[in-house]
Structure 1
């Protein structure tokens, strides 16, 4: 049979049409996907990524919102660590708030979660009651309430007077004022408690029964069963609560009326950044502060992940 180019083209035409149709179908499917994710992409670019780049540029400038930015290089960063005592004080107060408040908050949340993990007909009601502080804990109203509780005539000083202890000047003593903020942080344990409670529900009761048969008490069960199997949840809560603690703003602002007093005792990092940006119009300096916080939180989170290999138990891996 003689080869005919026309015949070959005729046979390949359906294949070409099918390939073209498949490409159009894939393109249509991709465009549909892009259309669905476009609100997020546009929002991320407009309200997160591009502002971050602008903030990075402003951190190397002197900018006050009323004039064009003036490039000053690394002067803002040098000033933070060598010429601004208030900045260093805000770092100290924030470290106390984070590294004291977060462990206490997690310990309290775990203790309450273990109590609520017990079998009770009212356990659902108790969980709701214990979670309520986390819903309203960061609000302006609760911060005002907390300020009234620790006032000279507040409930705390009244209770101390009943015990024969004189009034504590919560708003006049820097050490007492930061402790007041830490107490408020610990009181907002509801979200961590619910996550711990979910983790406790995933621990098999057979392990506790086997430990009881071997004669193990409550303390060995906690350190040999509960804590290792809950270690991944502890890591998650620790990271999330640490990041949240570094970003705390509303309680410090409301309790100190935006001044960070007394003597900088409640001047958290975020509050000092806010004052520099919106009270003193030092936008360049505030941007530099924001980037230092971002870098520090990123490094701290990386350290937590790196060290977690030594103490976090993953059941799928059969150990640490």
Structure 2
């Protein structure tokens, strides 16, 4: 064995000590992450109601998915959430980031005010949102009435309920703004100075310099926000419970019902694995297409 491959007595001792310190985490990871994932994959091929032993039924749970009206409804609603939340969150976060990197004396206060809502618990935030969008006494409709506009029923209207939840979700855009602020501050000022000397306008500099150089942050945002949108649960669960007429029922809400209300763990596990494969596909597409529009400063 080459000398480089041999482990000294001290190295082996350090390795054992390191593994010993990591052992609690490794046990927790195996018990609370690896085992549930493997078990859910097995349960997805069984009829399992927790109180009775699982019975193998093969692909029957997956076959039922595509004959389930509420499964189709919840999946459609979730895709609607993804299509609304991801681009709108990107736009709001980027606009806030551009505003929050301006050289103002009070900018620290503004940054705190923008970021603080993103750490508010979902329940408290949903309670405030219900008041804001109350169709009769809410702030939004009261404000619209000042201009002679009759506001919609918002969460009580099938056409507006999902849109309302998408709008409310932008309350936590401070986290996205923080990521973009870091990306914007990392762009060398010399590039803007050189572009200004060449006669470039602000819009041209934003389009040709800013957007390409913050594209790694955009890639990170697209992946994380897409995964979060696929798993949207708390706001529609607290604010509407899936109503009216299941118009806000998300995929994870329906999965939760089967798992913990109907205690149908086999069917819920099949739903979970379908969602995993769908999210994996979307992530793969984003990564595959990112080669065309993600640029890293200083790379060839």
TM-score tier by shorter-chain length is over 0.9
Structure 1 distance, partners of 2:143, 2:181, is: 32
Displacement of 1:162? 2.2
Which residue of structure 2 aligns with residue 14 of structure 1?
none
Where in structure 2 are the equivalents of 1:30-179 lying within 5 Å?
A: 30-81=15-66, 83-136=67-120, 138-152=121-135, 153-179=137-163
Structure 1 counterpart SS, 2:200 = coil
- Counterpart in 2 of 1:296? 278
TM alignment of 1:189-268, pairs within 5 A: 189-256=173-240, 258=241, 260-268=242-250
Normalised to the residue count of structure 1, the TM-score between the two structures is: 0.88
Q: Which stretch of the first structure deviates more once superposed, 242-251 or 220-229?
A: 242-251
- In 2, are the aligned partners of 1:105 and 1:187 still within 8 Å (CA)? no
TM-superposed CA distance for 1:274, in Å, is 0.7
Q: Distance in 2 between matches of 1:66 and 1:121?
A: 62
Aligned residue number for residue 5 of structure 1: none
Q: Which residue of 1 aligns with 2:14?
A: 29
- Counterparts of residues 299-310 of structure 1 (less than 5 Å): 299-310=281-292
What SS is found at the alignment partner of 1:179?
Answer: helix
Post-superposition offset of 1:160 = 2.4
Q: Is the 8 A contact 2:155 2:164 kept in 1?
A: no
User: Deviations 1:116-139 (Å, cap 9, x if unpaired)?
Assistant: 111111111111110011111x52
Partner of 2:263: 281
> 2:170 corresponds to which residue?
186
Inter-partner Cα distance in structure 1 for 2:243 and 2:280: 29
Gaps in structure 2 of 5+ consecutive residues: 1-6
1:297 positional shift = 0.8
**What residue number does 1:311 align with?**
293
Partner Cα distance (1:316, 1:71) in 2: 55
| Distance in 2 (alpha carbons) for counterparts of 1:115 and 1:26 | 52
Given that residues 200 and 230 in structure 1 are in contact (C-alpha distance below 8 angstroms), is that contact kept between their aligned partners in structure 2? yes
Question: Offset at 1:100?
Answer: 1.3
**TM-superposed deviation, 1:289:** 0.7
After superposition, give the CA deviation of every residue in 1:71-106 in whole Å (9 maximum; x if it has no partner): 11111111111x111111111111111111111111
Quick one: distance in 1 between partners of 2:8 and 2:200?
65
User: Counterpart of 1:118 in 2: which secondary structure?
Assistant: coil
For structure 1, list consecutive stretches of 5 or more residues without a partner in the other structure: 1-21
Deviations along 1:149-191, one digit per CA (max 9) or x if unpaired, are: 2122211221222222224122332220000110122221111
Cα RMSD after superposing both structures: 1.3
> Which whole-Å deviations, capped at 9, do the CAs of 1:177-221 have from their partners, x for residues lacking one?
000110122221111100100000010111111111111111101
Distance in 2 separating the partners of 1:169 and 1:133: 25
Bigger radius of gyration among the two: 1
Inter-CA distance 195–157: structure 2 relative to 1 (3 Å threshold): same
Q: How many residues align?
A: 293
- Alignment partners' CA distance in 2, 1:294 and 1:41: 23
Distance 2:108 2:150 in 1: 40
Aligned twin of 1:13: none
